[in-house]
Amino acid sequence: MKILLVDDDEGNLDVLEGILSPHGECDRSVDGREAVEFFEAALRRNEPYDLVCLDIMMPEMNGQDALKAIRAMEVELDVPLTVIWMVTALDTSKEQIEAIYKGGCNGYITKPYTKQKIMEYMINHGFIELKPS
Ligand SMILES: [Mg+2]
């Protein structure tokens, strides 16, 4: 699977990539505007991302605006909606309502998170199978 990781903190990107790279090919972006460009370029190449992890507080374009821009693009180009998880330190209900109900994200993970939390999301969204014990 193809994954786009978006965060203005390289350390945060390292952590997420460490967790997710065994499960897919990870691209990294450090701001919302660049992420939207990467997303569009992948769509145009007919190699869309399966999952986008979006930080909210970023320069240039924040994650909320990037989320809306991606959803608008998907509607305009009439392509299936990509799974998008916000991965953010912002845990207010205002931000969550904005992202989930107005933005249309599929998950909202607050920092700090555990590897197990990310794995639960991967299983719940059908990206990896729960191994029988
Ligand atoms: Mg940030």
How far apart are the C-alpha atoms of 131 and 78, rounded to whole Å? 35
CA of 64 to the centre of ligand 1 (A): 12
Is the Cα torsion angle 116, 122, 125, 130 positive or negative in sign? negative
pTM above 0.85, yes or no: yes
Digit-coded pLDDT (tens) for 56-79: 999 999 999 999 999 999 999 999
Digit-coded pLDDT (tens) for 85-103: 999 999 999 999 999 999 9
CA of 5 to the centre of ligand 1 (A): 12
How far apart are the C-alpha atoms of 72 and 49, rounded to whole Å? 16
CA of 54 to the centre of ligand 1 (A): 9
CATH superfamily name and code, 2-124: Response regulator (3.40.50.2300)
CA of 132 to the centre of ligand 1 (A): 37
Task: Answer whether the bond into residue 112 is a cis peptide, omega within 30°.
Answer: yes
Is the model's pLDDT at 131 over the cut of 90?
no
